[in-house]
A = this chain, B = another copy of it.
Amino acid sequence: MPASSHPSPSRSGQVTMAMVATRAGVSTQTVSNALNTPELLRPETLERVLRTIDEMGYRPHRAARSLRTRTSRLIGYGIRSAASGGSSPILDRFLHALSATADEAGYRILLFASPAGPDSLAVYEELLGERGVDAFVLSDTHRGDRRQRWLDQRGIPFVAFGRVWSGRETGDWVDVDGAAGTDAAVEHLAALGHRSIAFLGWPRGSGAGDDRAQGWLRAMRRHGLPVRGRRAESTDDVPSAAAAAVPLLDAGATAVVTASDTLALGCYRALGERGAAPGREVSVTGFDDSPAASLVSPGLTSIGQPLEDVGRECIRLLLGRVEDTGRTPERVLLAPSLVVRDSTFAPL
């Protein structure tokens, strides 16, 4: 059987649609249909074309498809500047979940460095201008973050990991219910028999921090436990947290719920400095279940975020919005889970 002539199957080992077409004895459009709208083909033709595709190891050229369909099937994720410090929300697991879910839907994640400054929008604009992405996933959203409004005005699909705490919200988001987390921590401690449960949080004004404080507050009230003088604030570093914890311990707290693992380890230090030990004299809980939580002694009871679920939901919402841009905003609030280790115990 002589090799079919027109599209040379030689060179570069790259198989094109035309080659598949001649080999299967159909037109290129039919090959295209076999992949994109199989229901249009007669079953036997479909089968034949698909088999040929398989035999030849054909894969559609992403750029060509992208050019024609005017979509890139790429989702942009701006990784914040490392300089900005900030608690990396255990990026690792989140990103993995994001790419895994996206992959399943035929999308991929495009990673770009996004400066923290006010000109952060420039990169987003560039990416859109060159039609490099169809949509964005945002994280590390903060009060006064201009990205949501900016994207919304241009009709670009996006999802944020993290609520928009300020004023009028725009767009879809997925977040973890911080209040439910600290609430669960109080529940756990109360069940163990604690009655003097303090809270060590971040300075008011950060959405997530206030949310976590709220959960402690409502659980304490529900149990009829005292909250006056049992609350302190600190920036997110160990020395400050240790200092902030002192008055709480002086006031006789037998347990401290905190807004982060860093703050919790500040309590560890404060306890160590007064010759006491977490998990023996005083119970301590953290937030985030960061790697450090399982490494320290005693192991830190902490609140784990379901980052895999967050990633999955982000993609789900995003794809929904790509299909129906005008849809009413959708929000997903996921429950964190308490990971009990040795830093919490039954007193007396």
Contact = CB atoms under 8 A, between A and B. Distances in A.
Interface in A43-69: 57-64, 66-67
A174 to B, nearest CB: 18
Contact of A81 (B91, B96, B297): B96
B57 A67 contact: no
A308 B82 CA distance: 10
Contacts of A64: 63, 67
A19 B79 CA distance: 34
A63 B131 contact: yes
Interface residues of A, number: 56
A159 B78 CA distance: 23
Contacts of A100: 113
B238 A295 contact: yes
A62 B132 contact: yes
Contacts of A67: 61, 63-64, 67
A39 interface: no
B82 A72 contact: no
A296 interface: yes
Interface stretch (A104-112, A162-170, A204-212): A104-112
Nearest to A127: B108
Contacts of A111: 77, 95, 98-99, 108-111
Interface stretch (A139-147, A213-221, A265-273): A265-273
B131 A61 contact: yes
Q: Sorted from nearest, which 3 A-B pairs have the closest CB atoms?
A: A59-B129, A63-B66, A292-B292
10 contacts: A57-B129, A59-B126, A64-B67, A67-B67, A96-B113, A99-B111, A99-B113, A238-B297, A262-B295, A269-B297
